[in-house]
Amino acid sequence: MTKISSVEAFLLGKEIISAKWASLMVLVRVTTTDGKVGYGETVSALRAEAVLSFINKIDKVMKGRDVFDLEKNRMEWYKQDFNMAISLESTTAFSAFDIASWDIIGKEFEVPIYKLLGGKYRDRIPLYANGWYQNCVTPEEFVEKAKDVVRKGYKALKFDPFGPYFDIIDKKGLKEAEERVKAVREAVGDDVDILIEHHGRFNVDSAIMIAKRLEKYNPLFMEEPVHPDDIEGLRKYRENVKLKVALGERIITKTQALQFLKDKLVNCLQIDLSRIGGVTEARKVVGMSEAFDVLMAFHNAQGLILNAVTLQLDASIPNFLIQESFYEWFPSWKIDLIKNSTPVENGEAIIPEKPGIGVDINEKLIEELKVEKELYSYSEEPLWVVKGTWRSY
């Protein structure tokens, strides 16, 4: 038995860059009585402090339990918490614990965890860039930065061209969005994939108008076109729009994922390992998706711990489409916190081969980066926005 001795959480942060949500991290460390250490990470806009308090509760429940008992531990937390299936704070906290448990298990077997998840299905992980368009408002600004992304070797990039429009988009908003997308498409050419991020913020009729307008630019997918709980809206969208739909970053249980799958509301599922319940639950969603012919494109918008564990799953699954990456647009402290992250080469990630999830933490930096509370202050631009884009021109 490999007994858990503690589950600790650290709130880390520094300067705010690229996006406010990306400027914080809840780092989770699981330690065993024989001195093994594993790491996980999580955070969700505005919820870091709540997640921290959940980790402290998970610590009390998990102390003394076997780190290998992934399923039993999950059900124990579910039993204790009672509201896990309907609480983002609870599932994100548990997800980080699960990821750290897998890190320890991989280290125990001295293998990267993809070897425990089905082995290697691919050698390189094709990425799409996100976070690259800070302060882009005009088509020219998007074009300039999109060209940089392509110069770095990426074959796909995602962006939100809708500025400050929320819920309803009018003629001006549609025109602005189209000008941005058109300009980027012309600048990057037909061989680079463009992915359209809506951030789940439109009512269905606005979303349908957007799709009709942007269809000719051949986006790889339309992400979260309608509000995330608007299932009826999404059904109407599917009846009216031929483009592929991607969603899933706000799904917190496999049962929720099943709803989208069985009603054929999604082509590409974007669950986040740090929200769905870690590797253990993500693996089940991958299996269900495979049965429904749905491809995976995991949400990956936090730090390099989540990035590494997500790559482990990407490496091993058959039904993979593409991987989101903020790699070159992370705050530098998130990069410094990791000792040996695998690089991006020519728009592809290299699979980490180190035992566990594949990265080591620069523990000396934890003390330096600790913050007392969330660093955000209210502004008109919401937290989830890539910084400096919530403007018209």
CB of 299 to ligand GCO, least distance (A): 6
Distance in angstroms (rounded) separating the CA atoms of residues 50 and 192: 40
CB-CB contact of 223 with 158 (8 Å): yes
Q: Assess 243 for contact with ligand GCO (CB under 6 A).
A: no
List the interface residues with ligand GCO, window 361-390 (CB under 6 A): 384
Going by their DSSP bridges, the two strands 124-129 and 323-325 should be labelled as parallel
CB of 52 to ligand GCO, least distance (A): 17
- CB-count exposure of residue 225 (10 Å: 0-12, 13-18, 19+): buried
Q: Assess 348 for contact with ligand GCO (CB under 6 A).
A: no
List the interface residues with ligand GCO, window 258-297 (CB under 6 A): none
Q: Assess 45 for contact with ligand GCO (CB under 6 A).
A: yes
Please count the helices (runs of H) and the strands (runs of E) in the chain: 13, 13
CB-CB contact of 207 with 198 (8 Å): yes
Q: Assess 249 for contact with ligand GCO (CB under 6 A).
A: yes
- Residues in the interface with ligand GCO (CB under 6 A) total 10
Task: Mention every residue, 6+ apart, whose C-beta is less than 8 A from residue 268.
Answer: 221, 244, 245, 246, 294, 295, 296, 297, 321
Q: Assess 327 for contact with ligand GCO (CB under 6 A).
A: no
- Return the number of the residue (9 or 271) whose C-beta is nearest ligand GCO: 271
CB of 21 to ligand GCO, least distance (A): 4
Task: Summarize the chain as % helix, strand, coil (round to 5).
Answer: 45, 20, 40
- Return the number of the residue (27 or 70) whose C-beta is nearest ligand GCO: 27
Residue with tokens 């995991």: 298
- Return the number of the residue (103 or 272) whose C-beta is nearest ligand GCO: 272
CB-CB contact of 392 with 164 (8 Å): yes
- Helix (H) or strand (E) holding 6, with range, is strand 4-13
CB-CB contact of 359 with 336 (8 Å): no
- Return the number of the residue (162 or 384) whose C-beta is nearest ligand GCO: 384
* Residues annotated as catalytic (active site), given as ranges: 199, 299
CB of 336 to ligand GCO, least distance (A): 22
List the interface residues with ligand GCO, window 85-144 (CB under 6 A): 130
List 4, 7, 11, 21, residue binding ligand GCO (CB under 6 A)? 21
CB of 171 to ligand GCO, least distance (A): 26
- Return the number of the residue (360 or 381) whose C-beta is nearest ligand GCO: 381
Interacting residue ranges for ligand GCO, rule: CB under 6 A: 21, 45, 130, 197, 199, 249, 299, 301, 324, 384
